[in-house]
């Protein structure tokens, strides 16, 4: 930097040196606030889950965990009921697992393929910018809008009865697939952008075709990021309630679904229905369902971390 330019940038350096610690402290306080809110929320849910059980002191961790495990096992095995003593989430858990499998089967291949095409094959231009802008906008659309779209497109097929699926598992899975499709496309593109361009150039220089370069070098290098994004998208889908209510997820059903064209319910829907019950005993059942849903979500996130670390180890 020349001597004449140094005085021009000196005031900016002073401002940055003052604002840097302030910005760091603000970020730390924001993180701490979010952590405190999360701990309080989880604590209140666990307290509500143990409410009505034999009173144990707060420091009796083993006894409280035993009570919580007994509650979770009971509500996970029982079916939906109007009696809080026998109410549970068995049908909802099975329905959520059905939805999770169908959504993964339908949305992941389409989303990853779309992301690969936009990042590796689509020529730069106005059409690509329009598609990118619309995908980014769709990622922020409220879930209830996707529910209305699924009701019109999959459940009713715009009035064409021969194509209408009705309120079945497949209609719910297609709706949730549309919901997380923009997320999968965006995360796939971001993961592909982290791959160095030199890897592409080296593969092409050695005589590989574009498909061989993408499938044999770029995709394996971007796979940890792609897997993380897709599992996070599935985590959002498994916790959605509004779209499923719109496309006809049953509020009360005792029959386990055996195929993608059968009626169903889901764990978040059953939690919503129990939360509306006036009997205060259902608060414990509702909290137990929330804990089960949190365990399912944390398990999926843990699987994403393990898959990412495993693939990164072999790169």
CATH of the domain at 196: 1.10.3720.10
Q: How many CA atoms lie within 13 A of 293 on its CB side?
A: 28
What does the pLDDT read at residue 71? Answer: 81
The reported pLDDT for the residue numbered 64 is 74
Q: Which domain holds residue 116?
A: 90-313
Q: Is residue 280 part of a domain?
A: yes
Whole-number Å distance between alpha carbons of 281 and 275: 10
Quick check: is 303 in a domain? Answer: yes
Q: Compute the C-alpha angle 295/296/298, nearest 5°.
A: 65
Q: How many domains does the chain have?
A: 1
Domain-located, residue 121: yes
Please indicate, yes or no, if residue 85 is contained in any of the structural domains: no
pTM above 0.85, yes or no: no
> Angle at the Cα of 174 (from 123 to 89), degrees rounded to 5?
140
Q: Please, which residues have CB within 8 angstroms of residue 154's CB and are 6 or more apart in sequence?
A: 164, 165, 170, 171, 174, 175, 247
Residue 148 has a pLDDT of 92
**Position 196 in a domain:** yes
Taking alpha carbons only, the member of 192, 172, 166, 284 closest to residue 238 is 172
Query: Would you state the pLDDT for residue 117?
Result: 92
Any domain includes 103:
yes
Residue 83 lies in a domain: no
pLDDT (mean) for 190-213: 88
- Contact predicate 88/78, CB 8 Å: yes
Q: What is the pLDDT of residues 10-63, one digit of tens each?
A: 556 667 777 778 888 899 999 999 899 988 888 888 777 777 555 666 566 677
CA atoms within 13 A on the CB side of 50: 20
Q: What average pLDDT score do residues 95-99 get?
A: 92
The pLDDT-based confidence of 189 (bands split at 50, 70, 90) is: very high
Does 18 reside within a domain?
Answer: no
Which residue carries 């804990």 as its tokens?
291
């Amino acid at each position: 930097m020349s001597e004449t330019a140094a005085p021009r940038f000196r005031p900016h350096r002073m401002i940055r040196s003052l604002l840097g610690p302030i910005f760091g402290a603000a970020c730390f306080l924001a993180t701490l606030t979010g952590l405190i809110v999360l701990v309080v929320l989880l604590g209140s849910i666990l307290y509500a889950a143990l409410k009505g059980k034999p009173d144990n002191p707060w420091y009796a961790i083993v006894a409280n965990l035993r009570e919580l495990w007994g509650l979770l096992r009971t509500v996970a095995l029982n079916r939906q009921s109007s009696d809080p003593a026998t109410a549970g989430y068995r049908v909802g858990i099975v329905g959520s697992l059905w939805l999770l499998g169908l959504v993964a089967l339908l949305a992941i291949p389409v989303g990853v393929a779309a992301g690969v095409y936009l990042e590796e094959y689509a020529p730069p231009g106005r059409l690509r910018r329009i598609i990118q802008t619309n995908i980014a906008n769709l990622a922020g659309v409220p879930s209830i809008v996707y529910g209305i779209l699924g009701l019109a497109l999959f459940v009713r097929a715009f009035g064409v009865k021969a194509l209408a699926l009705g309120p079945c598992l497949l209609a719910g899975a297609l709706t949730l697939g549309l919901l997380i499709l923009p997320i999968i496309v965006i995360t796939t593109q971001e993961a592909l952008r982290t791959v160095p361009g030199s890897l592409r150039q080296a593969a092409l220089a050695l005589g590989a075709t574009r498909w061989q370069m993408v499938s044999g070098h770029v995709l394996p290098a971007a796979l940890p990021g792609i897997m993380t994004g897709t599992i996070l998208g599935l985590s959002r889908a498994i916790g959605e309630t509004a779209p499923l209510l719109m496309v006809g997820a049953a509020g009360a059903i005792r029959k386990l679904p055996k195929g993608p064209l059968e009626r169903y319910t889901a764990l978040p829907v059953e939690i919503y229905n129990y939360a509306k019950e006036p009997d205060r005993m259902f608060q414990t059942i509702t909290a137990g369902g929330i804990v089960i849903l949190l365990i399912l979500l944390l398990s999926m996130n843990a699987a994403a971390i393990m898959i990412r670390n495993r693939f990164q180890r072999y790169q």
